[in-house]
């Protein structure tokens, strides 16, 4: 059976990741309530119950509250931290109204951000730190210095990026002694540019596609783990009300339901299975906090293994809403 890139680099973890972005509720300064903590704990328990052992954070999620809640739960659960892989991100600065004001890959910002992350999560080390969005002012040697300090002090074990092109990754990588292990991007049946880019080479129809050329192949050549954010397409194909959605979305949702019924599984498992059927062995970062929806994702890997080429293309063409070129 193919082995996912993280595993080949010695990180043993689940194929699914729980995204912890919503744990803190609102992005304003409203305080954390016991209800936030209760819901987050339910989501964590649901994830653990189906074998999810990796959790995704960022310093900015609900302005730090999501990490604080996760940290408060870890503190009460001795032994849990050692059983899971914790990933967080830094590099975005947010201002008034939680709006990103700029990106910052300076050494000072990265070091201070990681100290803040570890404090909020109440842990001594991060398994993986991702740079959240590309900073036009990046200086790879400065990032290398920051990463070196974090690695040598034991604060961060591995590094990766998010929302970056192969060119941006290569540029950073040339200054770093260790491989960047992860690239996290938006990929789903609703956000298809990651597939469309590849099938539109030399086609005018591809002009509107917005995904870095060769990114899928680059990741696979370099044994880099791709992670998909927004993989459930915010529920569009798995039960969310669709009155406001275009015809192709409604038709694809119906197709997902049919396949799920035929295969005696859930719509969530079909939606994620479609993404995971790709040979890059993508890790979906699911963002639901709903315990039942988390459990409904359990069968995704099995569905990916069982999905035929015909089924994969039928879902893809339906979600595209137009014929293949
Ligand atoms: N690297 C980046 O730049 C980046 C950007 C954004 C997010 N992320 C990461 O990716 C994770 C997932 O992102 P995402 O939240 O966009 O992904 P998602 O898993 O596609 O969507 C989850 C959202 O859809 C809702 N949903 C799912 N099924 C539904 C249904 N049947 N009916 C109604 N609502 C439904 C969920 O609500 P319920 O909770 O009520 O189920 C939740 O709000 C985040 O937590 C974060 O860790 C990374």
**pTM > 0.95: yes or no:** yes
Exposed / middle / buried, residue 136 (Cβ in 10 Å: 0-12, 13-18, 19+): exposed
User: How many Å apart are CA 12 and CA 82, to the nearest integer?
Assistant: 12
Tell me which residue has its CA closest to atom 17 in ligand 1. Answer: 230
Element (H, E) at 249: helix 247-262
User: pLDDT truncated to tens, each residue of the chain (325 aa)?
Assistant: 789 999 999 999 999 999 999 999 999 889 999 999 999 999 999 999 999 999 999 999 999 999 999 999 999 999 999 999 999 999 999 987 788 889 999 999 999 999 999 999 999 999 999 999 999 999 999 999 999 999 999 999 999 999 999 999 999 999 999 999 999 999 999 999 999 999 999 888 888 888 999 999 999 999 999 999 999 999 999 999 988 899 999 999 999 999 999 999 999 999 999 999 999 999 999 999 999 999 999 999 999 999 999 999 999 999 999 999 9
Tell me which residue has its CA closest to atom 16 in ligand 1. Answer: 230
Most distant CA atoms of the chain, gap in Å: 56
Q: Is the CB of 212 under 6 A from ligand 1?
A: no
What 3-state class would DSSP assign to 78?
coil
Query: Which of ligand 1's atoms lies nearest the C-alpha of 267?
Result: 31
User: How many Å apart are CA 192 and CA 294, to the nearest integer?
Assistant: 23
Query: Which of ligand 1's atoms lies nearest the C-alpha of 293?
Result: 41
For the question of residue 61 being annotated catalytic, the response is yes
């Amino acid at each position: 059976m193919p082995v996912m890139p993280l595993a080949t680099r010695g990180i043993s973890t689940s194929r699914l990741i729980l995204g912890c972005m919503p744990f803190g509720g609102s992005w304003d300064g409203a305080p954390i309530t016991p209800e936030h903590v209760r819901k987050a704990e339910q989501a964590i328990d649901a994830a653990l119950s189906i074998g999810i052992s990796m959790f995704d954070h960022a310093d900015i999620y609900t302005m730090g509250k999501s990490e604080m809640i996760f940290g408060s739960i870890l503190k009460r659960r001795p032994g849990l931290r050692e059983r899971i892989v914790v990933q967080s991100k830094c590099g975005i600065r947010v201002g008034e109204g939680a709006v990103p004001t700029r990106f910052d890959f300076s050494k000072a910002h990265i070091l201070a951000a990681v100290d803040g992350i570890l404090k909020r999560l109440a842990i001594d080390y991060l398994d993986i730190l991702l740079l959240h969005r590309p900073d036009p002012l990046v200086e790879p040697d400065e990032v290398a210095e920051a990463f070196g300090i974090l690695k040598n002090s034991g604060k961060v074990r591995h590094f990766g990026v998010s929302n970056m092109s192969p060119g941006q990754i290569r540029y950073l990588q040339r200054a770093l002694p260790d491989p960047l292990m992860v690239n996290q991007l938006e990929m789903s049946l609703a956000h298809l540019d990651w597939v469309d880019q590849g099938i539109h080479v030399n086609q005018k129809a591809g002009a509107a596609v917005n995904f870095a050329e060769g990114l899928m192949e680059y990741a696979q050549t370099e044994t880099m783990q791709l992670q998909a954010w927004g993989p459930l397409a915010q529920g569009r194909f798995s039960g969310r009300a669709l009155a406001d959605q275009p015809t192709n979305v409604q038709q694809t949702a119906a197709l997902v339901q049919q396949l799920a019924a035929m295969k005696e599984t859930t719509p969530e498992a079909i939606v994620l299975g479609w993404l995971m059927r790709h040979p890059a062995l993508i890790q979906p970062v699911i963002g639901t906090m709903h315990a039942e929806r988390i459990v409904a994702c359990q069968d995704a890997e099995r569905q990916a293994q069982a999905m035929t080429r015909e089924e994969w293309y039928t879902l893809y063409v339906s979600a595209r809403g137009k014929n293949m070129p």
